[in-house]
């Protein structure tokens, strides 16, 4: 609280009825219901008399609550102010310290009403003090009506509020940069009602895809409520949120246009490593399905665009059009690697004739269920034929009975059973009511001797050829994606196609470098191998086969290329 604000309150402390205090403060600041009861006013007045200091509230970054610095808020409002018409009503869905409100008050004399929410009461008091200080410094400015709500945003009825909004509208803010799962683990009350709001099906609804950014839910909620009111929405969110909003636009088809992403330096502005931007769009206009990308610091220049080209979602609309002939449905099914969620006991290293787990426990196992395991870092080379780590493959398909291990492989059973508590405590619901020591991402494809694989985490567009190790197929973990083959020649042909320049350029046009997983099954299934095969020249094929044979001794010929081509054609 500034000295000017403190002095103003000390002057008013003799006023007994709180509604009189509210009237005076409303005339000064525009804030309606500064105090909500006589009791609140008297408690505040007593704290004033006692000399209480209103210190900065505690850090809430663990909740994804990164307060927007005032200088950044001012620059954002200046960017928005270049558009006409200027807003009459502003909504800030998570106002925090109120920096966006102060910036808007400085820039938009057109404002008649401001609505602001926050669940954290100390932030609302900071907002009140900041607004009060602003008008004490600018006594000749006429304040708009400012209505503050201490509410869980997901309990607030925005659609009801929309009925009384007179345009132009500005929705401005910085929603939490955190997922619903993270807030749930922190016991936050600021969560949406649990629902599969993206309508995922099957296992996707109960694993990673059931987790989403709170800001994404908030943005969609605001668009749903206000898309028919002329104005503009501008929110600081992670880039992944913007991608998801534009992706969902194909389904929702909201009348929003001029969709933009203005990339910021989060480390500089918030001292946090995150890929984030200012997301903007115009409301109540012709629906757009692509987003233009700019630097926030050089907003006049467009650096790219992403979104929908007809019915395909792409990361670079310009380059995609050049390589769209490769777009299709893969005739081979991409699979994700093995998932166990129990790495302390399931990821092993070999030491002599024994194995060592992450707990530094050494033990012996029957060899039958132990397979070499590749992780994303192991796929950063052309050909992989050995493993650093090993794993126990307890099933050949999800849901298969595992009691056979006790009878046929007693040492392995004893080891697993010694660590049963870790398996039983796995958090994912996919293991619920499943056999002991269950795994996922396992099937007939896992046991194919030859594989072509790629890391989902690395940004490299390089596919690896995976060969058997010690007479057994190598397994991959669930950060990897693969195609399995019984025939080495067919695996080599596929490896050559996927590492070709057209394949790389096509993938670059449909993937996002800052995504948590650059490659997913959905992305890889879009590669039409037959289209790639049609574009590969005989000389390119022969040159690459010769290189692989010379370097890795594969002894693969091009004689079966026609058979492979026909196999792809089905």
Average pLDDT, the chain: 90
pLDDT in tens, 346-382: 999 999 889 999 999 999 999 999 999 999 999 999 9
Q: Are residues 209 and 183 in the same domain?
A: yes
* 372: β partners: 390
316 inside domain: no
Q: Are residues 131 and 225 in the same domain?
A: yes
Residue 350 to residues 49, 101, 354, 387, 423, Cα–Cα distance (Å): 71, 61, 6, 10, 22
Q: Are residues 259 and 366 in the same domain?
A: no
Distance CA 525, CA 481 (A): 11
Q: Are residues 274 and 297 in the same domain?
A: yes
Distance CA 209, CA 214 (A): 13
- Which of residues 291, 309, 327 is at a domain's end? 309
Residue 192 in this model has a pLDDT that exceeds 80: no
> Cα dihedral angle (65, 70, 74, 80), rounded to 10 degrees?
10
Residue 167 in this model has a pLDDT that exceeds 70: yes
Distance CA 43, CA 21 (A): 14
Q: Are residues 358 and 230 in the same domain?
A: no
Q: Are residues 77 and 219 in the same domain?
A: yes
**In the numeric block, which tokens belong to residue 425?**
């405590």
Q: Are residues 19 and 98 in the same domain?
A: no
Q: Are residues 38 and 71 in the same domain?
A: no
> Would you say 351 and 390 are in contact if contact means Cβ atoms under 8 Å apart?
no
Count of C-beta atoms within a 10 Å radius of residue 196: 13
Residue 6: its pLDDT value, please?
A: 65
Question: Which helix (H) or strand (E) covers residue 234, if one does?
Answer: strand 231-238
522 inside domain: yes
82 inside domain: yes
Least confidently predicted of 200-204, 238-242, 441-445:
200-204
CATH of the domain at 130: 3.40.50.150
pLDDT band at 44 (very low <50, low <70, confident <90, very high): confident
* 375: β partners: none
pLDDT band at 1 (very low <50, low <70, confident <90, very high): low
3-state secondary structure of 535: helix
**In the numeric block, which tokens belong to residue 195?**
């629902």
**In the numeric block, which tokens belong to residue 241?**
């949120």
What are the residues whose beta carbons fall under 8 Å from the beta carbon of 39, sequence distance 6 or more? Answer: none
> Would you say 251 and 220 are in contact if contact means Cβ atoms under 8 Å apart?
no
> Would you say 298 and 254 are in contact if contact means Cβ atoms under 8 Å apart?
no
Question: Which among 47, 64, 46, 63 has a CA at the least distance from the CA of 55?
Answer: 47
125 inside domain: yes
327 inside domain: no
Q: Are residues 368 and 455 in the same domain?
A: yes
* 294: β partners: 262, 302
pLDDT in tens, 376-390: 999 999 999 999 999
What are the residues whose beta carbons fall under 8 Å from the beta carbon of 485, sequence distance 6 or more? Answer: 448, 449, 450, 451, 452, 491, 494
**In the numeric block, which tokens belong to residue 480?**
């990897």
> Would you say 407 and 305 are in contact if contact means Cβ atoms under 8 Å apart?
no
236 inside domain: yes
> Would you say 545 and 492 are in contact if contact means Cβ atoms under 8 Å apart?
yes
Residue 57: its pLDDT value, please?
A: 62
**In the numeric block, which tokens belong to residue 448?**
């194919």
Residue 276: its pLDDT value, please?
A: 95
Query: Domain range for residue 14?
Result: 3-49
Assess whether the previous peptide bond of 168 is cis (omega < 30° from 0): yes
Q: Are residues 293 and 376 in the same domain?
A: no
pLDDT in tens, 503-545: 999 999 999 988 888 999 999 999 999 999 999 999 999 999 9
Residue 193 in this model has a pLDDT that exceeds 70: no
Distance CA 225, CA 262 (A): 24
489 inside domain: yes
78 inside domain: yes
Q: Are residues 123 and 154 in the same domain?
A: yes
Q: Are residues 351 and 224 in the same domain?
A: no
Number of domains into which the chain is organized: 3
């Amino acid at each position: 609280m500034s000295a000017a604000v403190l002095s103003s309150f000390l002057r008013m402390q003799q006023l007994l009825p709180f509604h009189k205090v509210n009237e005076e403060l409303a005339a000064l600041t525009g804030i309606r219901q500064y105090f909500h009861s006589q009791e609140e006013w008297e408690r505040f007045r007593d704290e004033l008399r006692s000399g209480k200091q209103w210190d900065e509230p505690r850090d809430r970054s663990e909740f994804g609550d990164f307060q927007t610095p005032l200088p950044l808020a001012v620059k954002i409002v200046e960017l928005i102010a270049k558009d006409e018409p200027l807003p009459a009503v502003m909504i800030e869905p998570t106002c925090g310290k109120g920096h966006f409100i102060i910036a808007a008050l400085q820039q938009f004399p057109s404002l008649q009403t401001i609505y602001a929410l926050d669940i954290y009461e100390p932030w609302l008091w900071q907002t009140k003090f900041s607004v009060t200080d602003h008008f004490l410094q600018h006594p000749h400015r006429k304040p708009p009506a400012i209505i503050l709500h201490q509410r869980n945003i997901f309990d607030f009825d925005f659609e009801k509020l929309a009925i009384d909004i007179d345009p132009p509208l500005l929705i401005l803010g910085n929603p939490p940069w955190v997922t619903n799962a993270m807030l749930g683990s922190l016991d936050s009350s600021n969560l949406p009602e649990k629902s599969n709001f993206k309508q995922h099906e099957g296992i996707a609804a109960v694993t990673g895809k059931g987790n989403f950014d709170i800001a994404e839910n908030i943005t969609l909620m605001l668009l749903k409520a206000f898309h028919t009111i002329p104005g503009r929405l501008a929110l600081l969110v992670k880039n992944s949120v913007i991608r998801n909003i534009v992706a969902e636009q194909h389904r929702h088809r909201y009348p929003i246009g001029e969709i933009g992403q203005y990339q910021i330096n989060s480390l500089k502005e918030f001292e946090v490593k995150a890929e984030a931007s200012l997301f903007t769009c115009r409301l109540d206009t012709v629906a757009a399905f692509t987003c233009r990308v700019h630097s926030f610091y050089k907003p006049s220049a467009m650096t790219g665009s992403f979104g929908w080209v007809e019915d395909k979602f792409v990361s670079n609309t310009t380059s995609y059009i050049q390589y769209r002939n490769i777009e299709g449905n893969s005739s081979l099914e991409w699979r994700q690697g093995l998932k166990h969620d129990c790495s302390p006991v399931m990821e092993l290293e070999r030491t002599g004739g024994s194995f060592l787990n992450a707990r530094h426990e050494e033990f012996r196992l029957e060899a039958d269920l132990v397979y070499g395991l590749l992780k994303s870092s192991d796929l950063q080379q052309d050909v992989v034929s050995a493993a650093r780590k090993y794993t126990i493959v307890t099933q050949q398909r999800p849901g298969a009975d595992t009691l056979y291990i006790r009878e046929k492989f007693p040492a392995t059973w004893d080891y697993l059973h010694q660590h049963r508590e870790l398996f039983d405590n796995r958090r994912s619901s996919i293991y619920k009511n499943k056999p002991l020591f269950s795994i996922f991402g396992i099937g007939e494809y896992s046991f194919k001797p030859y594989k072509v694989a790629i890391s989902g985490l690395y940004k490299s567009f390089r596919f690896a050829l995976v060969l058997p190790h010690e007479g057994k197929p190598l397994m991959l973990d669930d950060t990897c994606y693969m195609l399995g083959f019984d025939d080495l020649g067919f695996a080599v042909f596929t490896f050559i196609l996927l590492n070709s320049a057209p394949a790389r350029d096509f993938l670059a046009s449909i993937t996002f470098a800052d995504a948590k997983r650059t490659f997913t099954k959905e992305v890889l299934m879009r590669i039409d191998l037959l289209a790639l095969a049609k574009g590969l020249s005989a000389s390119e094929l022969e040159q690459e086969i010769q290189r692989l044979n010379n370097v890795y001794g594969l002894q693969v010929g091009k004689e079966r290329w026609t058979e492979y081509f026909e196999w792809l054609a089905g």
